[in-house]
């Protein structure tokens, strides 16, 4: 069965939008150093929170989520089936991990994955965000919250959609997210992972 040009363009758009590194752009706009060379070296919301405070962290979080959400909303607007939804979400996620515009040096994908899940099914997204928040409130460890929420997300997709293809795509995102967090996992096992610190810098 031939693939529609609109589907190809949508997947390409998702990857290109995902390739926009919100942290790097926000850092430049706010006169901050490149987050890939400071702190944890990860161009994501948690590192931006540490380096630039709540404003920088919040803008980065929202921008990275939007990169996953917008292509998924467009896919729904095209009445996309499960295959195109899965391909679109994975393309946006891979764009964040391996951005075309920034030497393929991207982030770990948590916020973009949350945006994809929100766009896939609002209840899946909210359940995943709720899991992240619950673990974060108890542990104050961002990486642990992300890992637990990521592990739960395929279960939420199965429960709320029952579509094997969407579950498989979500599971693949989870595996890639775990791979990107391998240093965090080592730190968690050693008890040396950093905790979330709010209000360390005033905006």
Within a domain: 202: no
The model's pLDDT over 107-134, given as tens digits with 9 standing for 90+, comes to 999 999 999 999 999 999 999 999 999 9
Within a domain: 182: yes
Residues of the chain under the 70 pLDDT cut: 1-2, 197-203
The residue range of the domain holding 104 is: 5-190
pTM: 0.91
Number of independent structural domains in the chain: 1
Within a domain: 195: no
Q: How far apart are CA 97 and CA 124, in angstroms?
A: 22
Within a domain: 197: no
Within a domain: 137: yes
DSSP states of 115-158? HHHHHH-HHHHHHHHHHHHHHHHHH--HHHHHHHHHHHHHHHHH
């Amino acid at each position: 069965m031939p693939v529609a040009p609109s589907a190809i363009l949508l997947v390409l758009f998702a990857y290109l939008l995902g390739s926009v590194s919100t942290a790097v752009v926000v850092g430049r706009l706010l006169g901050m150093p490149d987050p890939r060379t400071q702190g944890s070296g990860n161009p994501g919301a948690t590192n931006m929170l540490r380096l630039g405070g709540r404003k920088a962290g919040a803008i980065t979080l929202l921008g990275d989520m939007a990169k996953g959400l917008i292509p998924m909303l467009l896919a729904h607007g095209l009445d996309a089936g499960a295959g195109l939804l899965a391909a679109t979400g994975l393309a946006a996620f891979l764009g964040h991990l391996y951005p075309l515009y920034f030497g393929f040096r991207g982030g770990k994908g948590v916020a973009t994955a949350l945006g994809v899940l929100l766009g896939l099914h609002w209840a899946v997204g909210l359940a995943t965000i709720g899991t992240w928040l619950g673990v974060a409130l108890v542990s104050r460890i961002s990486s642990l919250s992300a890992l637990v929420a990521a592990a739960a997300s395929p279960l939420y997709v199965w429960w709320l959609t029952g579509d094997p293809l969407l579950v498989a795509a979500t599971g693949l995102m989870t595996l890639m997210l775990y791979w990107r967090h391998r240093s965090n996992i080592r730190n968690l096992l050693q008890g040396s992972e950093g905790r979330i610190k709010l209000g360390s810098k005033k905006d």
